[in-house]
Structure 1
Amino acid sequence: MAGFNIAVTGLKASSTMLDVAGNNIANSSTVGYKSSRTEFGDIYTASVVGAGSSNTPGSGVTVANIAQDFSSGTLEFTNNNLDLAINGSGFFQLDDQQGGITYTRAGAFELDKEGNVVSSDGKRLQGYGLDEKENRLPIGDLAVNQKEYPPKATSDMDLSFNIDARNDATTLLPNYDKDAAGSYTYSTTVRTYDSLGNEHTIKYNFVEQRPEQEYSQYDAAAGIDINVSGVALTLPDQAAGTLGDFEIATDAAENGAVTIYRLSDAKLEELQAEENDPRIFDIEYRVDGADITTGKLKVLTASEAIEYGDVLVTDTAGDIIPSSATDSEGFVSSNQKQYYEFISGSYAASQEHEVKIAGVDIKISTGAVGLDSESMALAIRDRESDIIEANPLVQSVSWDPDQGEFGSIRVEFKPEASESELSNNSLTFAEVSGNALFSATPDTDISANYTIAGDNSFDGVYRMYAYLNGEEALDIGKLNDPGFGSSTEPGPVIIKYDPTNGILSEINGEEIRTGAAVPDLIISGADPADPTNTVTLSLAGSTQFASDSIIKASDQDGYPKGDLIGVSFAGTGEMIAAFSNGEELKIGVVAIASFENQAGLQSSGDTEWTATLASGSALLNPPGTGLNGLLNSASLEQSNVDLSAELVKLIEAQRNFQANSKTLETLNTVTQSILQI
């Protein structure tokens, strides 16, 4: 009887259903597990002759397929950034380093001793490497191979602030001092880093300009030719009745005794040209009626030139004419050039000379054709430190081949030196050799700045200083005096605000038009480890409103060396290394595999699958592209087993097993009855 075989197939099918349900229940807590279900098919046999469905009772049941349900399980959040879950479709690709490629949804990963991202059984997670420009490289092992982040010197800095427009500039101390809070309007400090990762600070001081104007006054004989910042001028001569490059001012008489001449417009325009000295506002020549053979040359500078140092005034021989103003009020510049020039007068060829500066001897030789500037510079440089040690007020000693007829020794003093300390007695100079090489009396340019009463045209004008670590004055673009080598030098620049709206209107001589970009300042010397580095400073957004002085934004792009402190993943698959210096680095992208027929994948254990002909080859793309799901870091996908449904299946399988057993029992009874006939 065929019924016995039919009942047996039912028992086998029910047993398989019990096995599948039991396996699902056993893996209900397995990360990334996909539940299975038993699919049955009936069995029919047919004869060649007389076949017909109505005449065929059937031959039982068979297990047609054990199919897996690839629907997503619940995502459970963890405290481990290396726990990954795919929120959507797709699989992680694993490589066992022996040619075996498997796919999984179980994302419990960790780092091995070589920095590779591996699964719990040691297989390596696959993904895209990234080059320096974050372009994706071919698929390979994802690894954390950068354990430290090199330092970066600050190269860009953004500083936005508001300076209280209610501050009264007239209450500031008359002499600026970087360490005296009462001498500047506002101050702020920004952190920076050098190329070795050392931390430094840049302190910015802002000094609002007083309503005053600077001038320097020089004694000069009438009718002589002079040079002002390299431009030749002829002074008026009352005795000869000539005006030279000047014209009688409209207020020709002052107190009935002083005649005022002003530089002609054409000559002033030439003098103010960019290549000469655009700081000069006007030049006057005043002659006292009591002595028409001499006069006083007054050089006025624009408001933004205050503390830029004296204008260079020389006679036709190139000798510097010292200023001799008698007004004692006004600013004394802390950045003003203060120096002695020992100018060579004549020389005899092929002779040895010896001079002493501050008691320190310098040996000088003259060649057959004149003074050798290179040898002079070396001789002076070799003794510079000794001279500075002997006279602490001295800042530098150098050779200037262009000053005077044959050259000069320039001794520059520190800015803090007072005018009284700069008298000739403060620096001894002697020519020991019998043959005089230098003039007996040094020419000087040691003049303070003097002021005259002004108006409110200086509102919103600030001198901006910068100091490295609060001490060393930095070069932030201050224009050097014409003829002094480099175009810029340490010292203040001028920033201006429109007094009608408090908006930046000018930075270091560059006008800011409405809607135009704010020009940057270039800071030199802020990296002690690499002096060639510069910092680009943006003051965009800075204002002068009638509210408290505050920092509105401050940022810089430098950082010290950093050590790896962790790894995280973005939703689109980027593996991001975090370092102790606050920097982050993208070091790879997780690859997500998809299949044309994921039901065709073959289970290989450890919640992993392998590709088959039925599934097709894996298609690899980053998360979030195409049909791929997004990546969730610090998450694990739980099993998608529905326990309640599986318990119901157990009941169904048990019932089916009992029913098929009853079939066997019934068939056995029938068989016994037949045997008893």
Structure 2
Amino acid sequence: MAFNTGLSGLRAASVDLDVTGNNIANASTVGFKGSKAQFGDLYASGFLSSGNNPVGDGVRVQDVKQSFSQGNISFTDNGLDLAINGDGFFTLSNGGEIRYSRAGQFGLDKEGFITNSEDMRLQGFTADEDGNLSGVRGDLQIESGNLAPRRTTELQSDLNLDSRESVLERRVADMGDFTAAAPGFPQETLEITYDDGSVVTATINPGNVADYSAADVVDVLNGPDGLSASATTQYEGISEADLNTAIAAGNFQFDLSVGNVSVPVDTVGVTDAASLVNAINDAQAPTISASLVGGNLRLIDNRGNNLTAGYTSDGPNQAPVTTVGTVRPQADREIVDIESTAGTTNLADSWDTRSINITNQFNPSDQRTFNHATTTTIFDSLGNSHEVSQFYVKQPSPGNGVGVSEWSIYLQIDGEFVGGTDTNPYQARFDQDGNLQSINGDPNGEILIDDWTPKNADGTPNGADGPPAPGTTITTPIPEPPTTSAFVLNLSETTQYGSEFGVTDQQQNGYTTGRLSGLDVSGEGVLFARYTNGQSKSLGQVALASFSNTNGLSPVGETSWVETFESGQPIIGAPDTGTLGSIKSSSIEESNVDLSAELVNLIVAQRNYQANAKTIETSDAVTQTIINLR
């Protein structure tokens, strides 16, 4: 029996040496998990009893148990080297066979699949064309081809327009000239209606005086908000030849009145009509100018006062003649109607034939005609870039100007107007708190551009998708996949505060074509591909597996394990969820073997082996002694 006991000890010590040696051999193997031999003693026993004084039969190896404790994590230069910090195993496909490993030294094969050195493919959750992760598990593959371009369907601009800016552009209704018959303008009452519904009354010649002048009319029309007027009076009733004859006859005197006030004209030294012009211009009447035009004396009063002119001499005489001035009224955009309720002037009639004039009209080449501007890049269906420019022009506040502000928005792409803004700019209104109320009445703050034709630098269409066909209804947001060049400019977050103009955020969802330039792996195991066009895209997510009984896994070499009945079925999940660990990219998990401890174990196993050999040697000596008895 001693021989058997010693032999079992030798076998056990030999296994212990093998396990320790294997641990030492794999001390530098990535992802390797050290093992330890577990032993149990042997006793011979009968069916009913083991006896009163049983003697052991030796030892046997019960199990070689692996330790799945965490190994040290070290950094590498390979972005596809992955380490698991915590529990879990990489899931590998070995030609259809599923294996599990902690060794994360990966690379790419010729088809772009992520594989280890044994061409086992790393499995994970795949992503669709837009980079959305799915719950479908498969072999992770990195597409090395070009990233197809994406046209812009939405441009989000978050701006602040400076409420302190002054109004640069003024749109007015020019009502033309109208003149009353001498001696003055008759009485008339006007009702002026504003865009907020308010009505103001203005009365011309309320006293119904006979010599009511154009200057008096201007005083009335300059009173209501948004209404203004100018006036001139021109007298041209005396010929140059008659003046020369009268001056030559002697005793020449020139009579001039401006607004019923006599203006003395010094005729001493006047020898002809030309010298009379100089004398009139030297008179104490700064609003009067005289000239000879077309053989006649022309007198102009630039304020619209009634003019009376004539002359006396020893020869021909000219009785004083009164001329009534001409009024030219203009109305701002806030006035929507002018009606006559009493009287006979033609002012109300001139409103019906008004023309719209713009002073300091918007010009994208002249920065003096707009308050703010910003430019960003968008892309057509072929991935060509285009510059879209937004111009903001402050307008007079609608109505009475309380609680609301308004800005005009002009849009250009590559220097060409879009959205019809060359003739009808969009109108953005803001409330008293500086928040956007609406754009052209739309509370969503969206502008749909559906008239853009992408062009080359020479101005010819470049072959990309153009605007939708006439009559086509375009819904927002633009549905996928887009089929036209239409896109939405979203200004819903734009504000109007009393601070400097600034672009808070400006984003668009288009991009040009791009080549793969790099790959990043997040802590959740998501593979991000980076492209030369500045875009990134999720290609998939590493899947980790855990088991109810990790020690039940069966090692099959290549630092991998397979599922067994004892391990239970794998639980597959995303890294850093549940009990699964996180992923460290550009890192590997080293072997968890403690080389110092293994060397000590090696000495212990050696001593055990020697001791058991000594047992056999002693038993052999005893047996030999018995054989030698005679």
TM-score bracket for the superposition, by shorter chain length: 0.5 to 0.7
1:466 is aligned to 2:411: yes
Moved more, 638-647 or 213-222: 213-222
- Correspondence for 1:567: 519
Compare 603-612 and 613-622 and name the one that shifted more: 613-622
The equivalent position to 2:332 in structure 1, one of 291, 296, 301, is: 301
Structure 1 residues 304 and 560, CA gap change in structure 2 (3 angstroms): farther
1:492 to 1:472, Cα distance in 2 relative to 1, 3 A: same
Once residues 221 and 304 of structure 1 are traced to their aligned partners in structure 2, the CA distance between those partners, rounded to angstroms, is 23
Q: Which amino acid aligns with 2:507?
A: D
Aligned partners of 2:148 and 2:204: how far apart in 1? 70
Partner residue, 2:101 = 104
Mean Cα deviation higher: 632-641 or 660-669: 660-669
8 A Cα contact 2:192 2:335, kept in partner: no
Q: Which residue of 2 aligns with 1:173?
A: none
Alpha-carbon offset, residue 520 of structure 1 = 3.1
Q: What stretches of structure 2 of length at least 5 have no aligned partner?
A: 194-198, 219-224, 233-303, 307-321, 337-351, 365-395, 455-463, 468-484
Residues 391-402 of structure 1 correspond to what in structure 2 (within 5 A)?
A: none
Question: CA separation in 1, counterparts of 2:492 and 2:575?
Answer: 41
The 5 A counterparts of 1:14-163 are 14-48=13-47, 51-97=49-95, 99-131=96-128, 134=132, 136-145=134-143, 147-162=145-160
Q: Which amino acid aligns with 2:108?
A: L
Q: Does the 8 Å contact 1:131/1:137 carry over to 2?
A: no
Quick one: distance in 1 between partners of 2:200 and 2:516?
A: 76
Which position in structure 2 is the counterpart of 1:331? Answer: 360
What is the rounded CA distance, in whole Å, between the counterparts of 2:492 and 2:453 in structure 1?
Answer: 20
Deviation sequence 1:523-575 (CA, Å, 0-9, x none): 455661433412313262544435x5443333332221111223333333333
How far off is 1:596 after superposition?
A: 2.5
The two structures, once aligned, show a CA RMSD in angstroms of 4.7
1:673 and 2:625 aligned: yes
TM-score by length of 2: 0.60
In 2: Cα distance, 1:661 partner to 1:304 partner: 118
AA aligned opposite 1:113: K
Mapped to 1, the partners of 2:595 and 2:119 lie a distance apart of 30
1:556 matched to 2:508? The reply is yes
Q: Tell me, in whole angstroms, the C-alpha distance in 1 between the residues paired with 2:362 and 2:575.
A: 64
Give the distance between the partners of 2:590 and 2:486, measured in 1 at CA.
54
Deviations 1:17-68 (A, max 9, x none): 111011101101111111110011111112457x435422111111111111
Displacement, 1:281?
A: 6.9
1:535 lines up with 2:479 in the alignment: no
Query: What is the Cα deviation at residue 579 of structure 1?
Result: 1.7
Contact 2:189 2:203 in 1 (8 A): no
What is the rounded CA distance, in whole Å, between the counterparts of 1:53 and 1:296 in structure 2?
138
Q: How many Å apart are 1:110 and its aligned residue?
A: 1.1
Q: Secondary structure at the match of 1:12?
A: helix
- Write the deviation string for residues 479-532 of structure 1: whole angstroms up to 9, x where unpaired: xxxxxxxxxx5554445667x87x356564559xxxxx7723444556614334
**1:407-426 counterparts in 2 under 5 A?**
none
- The question of whether the paired residues in 1 share the 8 Å contact of 2:545 and 2:570 is answered with yes
The aligned counterpart of 1:209 is 168
Separation (CA, whole Å) in 1 of partners of 2:204 and 2:598? 114
**1:613-624 residue pairs with structure 2 within 5 A?**
613-624=565-576
Alpha-carbon separation, structure 2, partners of 1:304 and 1:60: 114
1:554 partner amino acid: Q
Deviation (angstroms), 1:460: 6.9
Q: Measure the CA separation in 2 of the matches of 1:556 and 1:163.
A: 20
CA contact (8 A) 2:175 2:353 kept: no
Matched to 2:580, the amino acid is N
How far the C-alpha of 1:10 sits from its partner, in A, is 0.9
Which segment drifts farther, 137-146 or 110-119? 137-146
Deviation at 1:663, TM superposition (A): 1.6
CA deviation digits over 1:422-460, x for unaligned, max 9? xxxxxxxxxxxxxxxxxxxxxxxxxxxxx9xxx999997
1:371-382 aligned within 5 A: none
Contact 1:83 1:633 in 2 (8 A): yes
- Matched residue type, 2:125: Y
Partners of 1:57 and 1:70 in 2: how far apart?
37
Deviations 1:587-608 (A, max 9, x none): 2222222222221211111001
- Percent of residue pairs bearing the same amino acid type: 34
Q: 1:658 to 1:586 in 2, by over 3 A?
A: same
In the TM superposition, residue 334 of structure 1 has moved relative to its aligned partner by 5.2
Of 212-221 and 138-147, deviating more is 212-221
Larger radius of gyration between Structure 1 and Structure 2: 2
Q: AA paired with 2:22?
A: N
3-state SS of paired residue (1:218): coil
8 A contact 1:93–1:102 mirrored in 2: yes
Aligned CA distance change for structure 1 residues 591 and 490 (closer, same or farther; 3 Å): farther
Shift of 1:139: 2.5
Correspondence for 2:391: none
Compared CA separation, residues 72 and 458, structure 1 to 2 (3 A): closer
SS at match of 1:636: strand
Look up the equivalent residue of 1:36 and give its one-letter code: S
| Secondary structure of 1:561's aligned partner | coil
Letter of the 1:218 counterpart: G
Q: Distance in 2 between matches of 1:140 and 1:110?
A: 17
Q: 1:59 to 1:472 in 2, by over 3 A?
A: same
Aligned to 1:256: 212
User: Aligned ranges for residues 161-560 of structure 1 at < 5 Å?
Assistant: 161-162=159-160, 169=166, 208-209=167-168, 214-218=172-176, 250-253=202-205, 256-258=212-214, 298=329, 300-302=331-333, 323=355, 330-331=359-360, 462-469=407-414, 471-475=415-419, 478=421, 492-495=425-428, 503-504=434-435, 508=439, 510=441, 519-525=445-451, 528=454, 529=464, 530-531=466-467, 532-538=485-491, 540-546=493-499, 548-560=500-512
Q: Which residue of 2 aligns with 1:588?
A: 540
Paired residue secondary structure (2:176): strand
Question: 1-side partners of 2:117 and 2:592: how far apart?
Answer: 20
**Helix, strand or coil for the counterpart of 1:148?**
coil
Summarize the Cα distance change of 1:118–1:321 in structure 2 as closer, same or farther, 3 Å threshold: same
2:603 to 631, 651, 668: 651
C-alpha contact 2:524 2:582 (8 A) present in aligned 1: yes
Map Cα deviations across residues 345-365 of structure 1 (whole Å, 9 max, x no partner). xxxxxxxxxxxxxxxxxxxxx
Find the residue that maps to 2:360 and give its secondary structure: coil
The farther-off stretch of 157-166 and 110-119 is: 157-166
Q: 1:156, 1:556 within 8 Å by CA — same for their partners in 2?
A: yes
Q: Mean alpha-carbon deviation: is it higher for 537-546 or for 4-13? A: 537-546
Asked if the contact 2:436/2:492 (under 8 Å) is kept, the reply is no
Whole-angstrom CA distance in 1 between matches of 2:622 and 2:505? 96
Q: Is the 8 A contact 1:248 1:260 kept in 2?
A: no
* Partner SS for 2:125: strand
Question: Counterpart of 1:385?
Answer: none
Q: What is the alpha-carbon distance in structure 1 between the residues aligned to residue 200 and residue 47 of structure 2?
A: 136
2:119 maps to amino acid: G
Match of residue 604 from structure 1: 556
Q: Distance in 2 between matches of 1:508 and 1:47?
A: 99
Matched residue type, 1:141: D
Paired with 2:333 and 2:189, the residues of 1 have a C-alpha distance of 28
**Structure 1 counterpart SS, 2:515:** strand
Change (3 A) 1:42 1:253: same
CA, structure 1 residues 286+53, in 2 after alignment: closer, same or farther (shift >3 Å)?
Answer: farther
| 3-state SS, counterpart of residue 598 of structure 2 | helix
Given that residues 161 and 541 in structure 1 are in contact (C-alpha distance below 8 angstroms), is that contact kept between their aligned partners in structure 2? Answer: yes
> 2: CA distance between counterparts of 1:324 and 1:129?
62
Q: Counterpart of 2:445 in structure 1: which amino acid?
A: P
Unpaired stretches in structure 1, ≥5 consecutive residues: 170-207, 223-236, 262-279, 306-319, 336-450, 479-488, 512-516
Paired with 2:190 and 2:2, the residues of 1 have a C-alpha distance of 139
Give the match for residue 240 of structure 2: none
